[in-house]
């Protein structure tokens, strides 16, 4: 490993061919015999671990000192650098592969597992078809043949002198502890050869011997060992048949690139003649594909990828089954657990065969049953990352993968529920909502029949689980899937209604409610609503959004026993707040939420500012009743003085507008939509709040223009009167909008309590409008003796809140 490239490649080739000979030798055909043979090669594991940094194909760290730069300039790439500076390669793109799955042994048709694995790099016709050199590696080899080889020879010669100065020691695991870490990277052919040998040893070594070797390893050596496993998965990943043909087309359409795939015919000047390797010097993958890319070649590469995945899966499963104490340290919040968990997740992040995917899901089921503390009590990162990948699998085009993913997600819910003593599955609930939001943010198309089917399957599992029928578990599962569906529907509709401010805010309000149990996501959507309201000039609604955000933080602090009143402290500001913000779910393992009293104070100050801008000065006093105790607790007397000064100015403005009688707090209209163009809103009634003094003609013109742009100028028609409309008599070719002026309605007792204009325009639930009619019902207007007036009272579920439109739930007609 410390010689220059040509000698090093010869040595690696000899080792590879020797192991291939063992694999095909009839005298060592049994598993026991193979195990005894590979035990002789156990020191090879230590050698590979010692050089793990050289297997990662990336640029070495930059050296800043002039002395180090001079050494690199002279060709010596050895330096004393900590391994922690080496970063792992980025996650590869997802591939796809479908094999005919039967069982583990049937993954490789007509060939033994060791035969297929080593025939991928051994002599014979298979090696010609499955050589694994990449385009980038071949380019490097041919374009730098005249310069890099000379430098490597110098490196090797300098390495010989360095070896005499370094006292090599070995740890109990057999890993050589060298004070010098080399950064001259091996090329891709050498890396794959070494990894093949490494995998062959892992496949055939006895479990007892491997467990004993692990026990003698330090934590750093174990981390490097699992880094090697990750490198194996990345280097033998099956890219898919489409990708192979794209590479072929690229080579054939670029003569210069095709020339780079030819083997080198010359050795370095003054150097030995390079020996021909059956793996690296015959035909590369690109040349092989360009000559004859057929189904057999692609299937062979797919089988090798699957076998590598199965070997690594068996290895990590053996470790997790026997080293629980190390992995459960700090409830799984340790480096070793994260490294092993990343290997598991790598299978879901990249495309695998159906057979291998089935084994992966089975491994995760065992992991959930073995390490519930790490998933449901430790850091939420482990549970969240798994749910994210499982949800992606729930959207897979492969039915078997979707079924396994649904079963695994349901097992997570059920295990979390059992772990909490059958109280709830808060962690899985929160992480599922967060993961759905992340997937939608990455524009992953979840609003389709496949994902909806997966949600239905999860509901069916809960409904037919007899052991959970007498618990709240089925209801919580149904509530979670309902929230997910609401998020998907609202997100899809938001893109269609970007130009409709009322509809856009309604959809964001639905999203915020779906995220009611997830504080951070709900806060994000409430603040988005506030920005849209400010943009459209709806300052009162924007202020209400900020009030809800502050109440959300207060409720979070109540769960942490910091602010004891929680969201109930805002009851006097709006009756909706306690209803909306009390549904929060908390998870002790979530570290991304760090709300404090300072956060609450900041949000309350935003509320006060928003109410001042919206001319809702009377509500500022209620907000400052929450702010002032926090200032007093901090001994912030300057802030107290400023607060009382702002209250003085606010109440002075109230006195001024009451004296002049010029208070304009908004106008209300009933809006009804009819026609198939409005889809889910067909036949629904809403109360629209318009700013200041808005006439009926103004809102009519605005809505006509808005929907004419969406559906066509001649498609939208306005219904001019406020009488009841028979939808069956309307022409389905048109979109109808009925707009009526309404006023707030108060019962007799409320009339005596709401004395000011502000009180008559704040926290309103009922509205009314009047319609003329005659007793015979034939016409609207008649003589004084026949004329009657019908008063219709409209009631909404909530008082006027952080929206410009309220859905109506009940109509009461009073004559």
Higher-confidence position of 628 and 107: 628
Work out the number of other CB atoms within 10 angstroms of the CB of residue 730. 15
Q: Give the Å distances, CA to CA, from 144 to 261, 267, 273, 734, 761.
A: 13, 12, 17, 71, 79
Per-residue pLDDT reduced to its tens digit, 392-444: 999 999 999 999 999 999 999 999 999 999 988 989 998 998 899 888 878 78
CB 647 within 8 A of CB 620: yes
Per-residue pLDDT reduced to its tens digit, 77-122: 333 333 333 333 333 333 333 333 334 333 333 344 444 455 444 3
Mean pLDDT of the chain: 76
**Does position 477 have pLDDT exceeding 70, yes or no?**
yes
**Does position 272 have pLDDT exceeding 50, yes or no?**
no
CB 511 within 8 A of CB 491: yes
Higher-confidence position of 277 and 792: 792
How would you classify the pairing of strands 169-170 and 176-177? antiparallel
Q: Give the Å distances, CA to CA, from 194 to 16, 228, 231.
A: 8, 10, 11
**Does position 218 have pLDDT exceeding 60, yes or no?**
yes
**Does position 723 have pLDDT exceeding 90, yes or no?**
no
Per-residue pLDDT reduced to its tens digit, 740-774: 898 888 887 878 888 888 888 888 888 888 888 77
Written as six digits, the tokens of 368 are 């959930």
Indicate the range of 193-197, 276-280, 446-450 predicted with least confidence.
Answer: 276-280
β-partners of residue 739 are: 671
The pLDDT score that the predictor gives to residue 508 is 82
User: Residues near 202 by Cβ (< 8 Å), separated by ≥ 6?
Assistant: 210, 311, 312, 315
The pLDDT score that the predictor gives to residue 601 is 92
How would you classify the pairing of strands 78-79 and 181-182? antiparallel
The pLDDT score that the predictor gives to residue 347 is 93
Cα–Cα distance, 403 to 387 (Å, whole number): 15
The pLDDT score that the predictor gives to residue 171 is 47
The pLDDT score that the predictor gives to residue 247 is 64
Q: With cut-offs at 50, 70 and 90, classify the pLDDT of residue 207.
A: very high
Percentage of residues in the chain with pLDDT exceeding 90? 29
User: Residues near 344 by Cβ (< 8 Å), separated by ≥ 6?
Assistant: 316, 360, 363, 364, 367
Q: Give the Å distances, CA to CA, from 123 to 201, 275, 280, 335, 783.
A: 19, 14, 11, 41, 108
The pLDDT score that the predictor gives to residue 807 is 56
**Does position 137 have pLDDT exceeding 70, yes or no?**
no
Higher-confidence position of 723 and 366: 366
Over residues 33-58, mean pLDDT: 85
Q: With cut-offs at 50, 70 and 90, classify the pLDDT of residue 455.
A: very high
**Does position 372 have pLDDT exceeding 80, yes or no?**
yes
Per-residue pLDDT reduced to its tens digit, 490-516: 888 777 777 777 788 888 888 888 787
- Phi and psi at 792, nearest 5°, equal -105, 125
Cα–Cα distance, 737 to 671 (Å, whole number): 7
Q: Give the Å distances, CA to CA, from 5 to 72, 160, 235, 438, 690.
A: 17, 14, 20, 46, 78
The pLDDT score that the predictor gives to residue 285 is 45
The pLDDT score that the predictor gives to residue 172 is 44
Indicate the range of 104-118, 183-197, 202-216, 238-252 predicted with least confidence.
Answer: 104-118
The pLDDT score that the predictor gives to residue 605 is 92
Chain Cα centroid distance, residue 46:
37
DSSP string, 700-763: HHHHHHHHHHHH-TTTEEEE-S-S---GGGS-TTSEEEEEEEEEE---HHHHHH--STTGGGSS
Q: With cut-offs at 50, 70 and 90, classify the pLDDT of residue 134.
A: very low
Over residues 283-311, mean pLDDT: 70
Indicate the range of 77-86, 263-272, 283-292, 363-372 predicted with least confidence.
Answer: 77-86
Cα–Cα distance, 660 to 606 (Å, whole number): 29
Indicate the range of 248-262, 639-653, 791-805 predicted with least confidence.
Answer: 248-262
Work out the number of other CB atoms within 10 angstroms of the CB of residue 672. 22
**Does position 141 have pLDDT exceeding 50, yes or no?**
no
Q: Euclidean distance between the first and final Cα of the chain, in Å?
A: 98
Higher-confidence position of 95 and 679: 679
How would you classify the pairing of strands 716-719 and 735-744? parallel
């Amino acid at each position: 490993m410390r010689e220059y490239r040509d000698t090093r490649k010869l040595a690696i080739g000899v080792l590879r061919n020797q192991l291939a000979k063992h694999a095909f030798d009839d005298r060592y055909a049994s598993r026991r015999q193979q195990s005894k043979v590979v035990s002789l090669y156990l020191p090879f594991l230590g050698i590979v671990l010692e050089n793990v940094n050289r297997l990662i194909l990336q640029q070495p760290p930059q050296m800043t000192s002039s002395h180090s730069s001079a050494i690199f300039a002279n060709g010596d790439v050895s330096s004393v650098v900590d391994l922690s500076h080496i970063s792992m390669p980025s996650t590869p793109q997802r591939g796809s592969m479908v094999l005919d799955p039967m069982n583990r042994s049937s993954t490789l048709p007509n060939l033994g597992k060791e035969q297929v694995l080593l025939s991928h790099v051994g002599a014979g016709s298979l090696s010609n078809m499955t050589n694994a050199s990449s385009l980038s590696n071949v380019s490097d080899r041919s374009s730098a043949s005249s310069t890099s080889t000379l430098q490597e020879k110098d490196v090797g010669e300098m390495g010989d002198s360095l070896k005499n100065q370094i006292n090599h020691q070995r740890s109990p695991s057999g890993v050589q502890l060298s004070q010098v870490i080399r950064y001259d990277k091996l090329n891709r052919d050498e890396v794959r050869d070494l990894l093949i040998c490494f995998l062959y040893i892992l496949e055939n070594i006895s479990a007892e011997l491997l467990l004993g070797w692990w026990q003698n390893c330090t934590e750093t050596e174990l981390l490097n060992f699992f880094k090697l496993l990750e490198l194996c998965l990345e280097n033998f990943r099956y890219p898919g048949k489409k990708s192979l043909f794209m590479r072929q087309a690229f080579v054939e359409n670029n003569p210069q690139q095709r020339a780079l795939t030819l083997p080198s015919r010359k050795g370095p000047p003054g150097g030995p003649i390079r020996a021909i390797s059956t793996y690296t010097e015959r035909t590369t993958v690109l040349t092989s594909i360009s000559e004859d890319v057929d189904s057999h070649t692609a299937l062979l590469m797919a089988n090798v990828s699957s076998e590598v995945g199965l070997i690594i899966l068996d290895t990590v499963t053996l470790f997790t089954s026997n080293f629980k104490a190390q992995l459960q340290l700090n409830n799984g919040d340790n480096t070793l657990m994260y490294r092993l968990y990343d290997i598991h997740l790598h299978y879901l992040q990249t495309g695998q065969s159906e057979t291998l995917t089935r084994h992966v899901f089975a491994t995760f089921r065992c992991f959930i049953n073995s390490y519930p503390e790490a998933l449901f009590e430790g850091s939420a990162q482990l549970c969240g990352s798994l749910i994210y990948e499982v949800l992606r699998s729930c959207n897979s085009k492969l039915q078997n993968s979707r079924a396994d993913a649904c079963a695994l997600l349901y097992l997570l819910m059920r295990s979390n529920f059992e772990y909490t003593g059958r109280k709830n599955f808060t962690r899985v609930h929160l992480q599922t909502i967060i993961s759905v939001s992340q997937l939608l943010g990455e524009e992953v198309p979840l609003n389709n029949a496949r994902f909806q089917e997966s949600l239905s399957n999860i509901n069916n599992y809960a409904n037919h689980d007899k052991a959970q029928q007498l618990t709240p578990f089925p209801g919580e599962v149904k509530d979670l899937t309902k929230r997910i569906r609401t998020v998907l529907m609202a997100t899809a509709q938001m893109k269609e209604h970007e130009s409709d401010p009322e509809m856009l805010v309604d959809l964001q309000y639905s999203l915020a409610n779906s995220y009611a149990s997830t504080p951070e996501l709900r806060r994000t959507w409430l603040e988005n609503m506030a920005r849209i309201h400010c943009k459209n000039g709806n300052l009162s609604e924007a202020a209400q959004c900020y009030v809800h955000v502050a109440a959300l933080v207060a409720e979070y602090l109540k769960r942490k026993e910091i602010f004891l009143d929680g969201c109930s402290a805002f009851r006097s500001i709006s009756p909706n707040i306690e209803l909306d913000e009390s549904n929060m779910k908390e998870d002790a393992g979530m570290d991304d939420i760090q709300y404090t009293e300072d956060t609450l104070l900041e949000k309350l100050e935003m509320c006060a500012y928003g109410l001042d801008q919206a001319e809702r000065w009377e509500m500022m006093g209620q907000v400052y009743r929450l702010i002032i105790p926090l200032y007093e607790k901090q001994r912030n007397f300057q802030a107290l003085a400023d607060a009382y000064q702002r209250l003085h100015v606010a109440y002075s403005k109230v006195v001024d507008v009451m004296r002049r009688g010029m208070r304009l707090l908004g106008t209300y209209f009933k809006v009804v939509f009819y026609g198939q163009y409005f889809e889910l809103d067909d036949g629904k009634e809403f109360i629209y709040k318009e700013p200041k003094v808005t006439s009926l003609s103004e809102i009519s013109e605005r809505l006509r223009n808005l929907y004419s742009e969406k559906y066509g100028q001649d498609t939208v028609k306005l219904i001019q009167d406020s009488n009841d409309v028979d939808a069956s008599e309307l022409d389905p070719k048109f979109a109808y909008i009925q707009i009526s002026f309404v006023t707030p309605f108060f019962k007799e007792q409320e009339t005596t309590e709401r004395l000011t204009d502000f009180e008559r325009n704040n926290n309103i639930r009922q509205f009314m409008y009047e319609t003329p009619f005659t007793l015979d019902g034939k016409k609207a207007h008649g003589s004084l003796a026949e004329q009657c007036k019908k008063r219709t009272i409209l009631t909404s579920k909530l008082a006027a809140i952080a929206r410009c439109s309220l859905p109506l739930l009940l109509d009461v007609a009073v004559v």
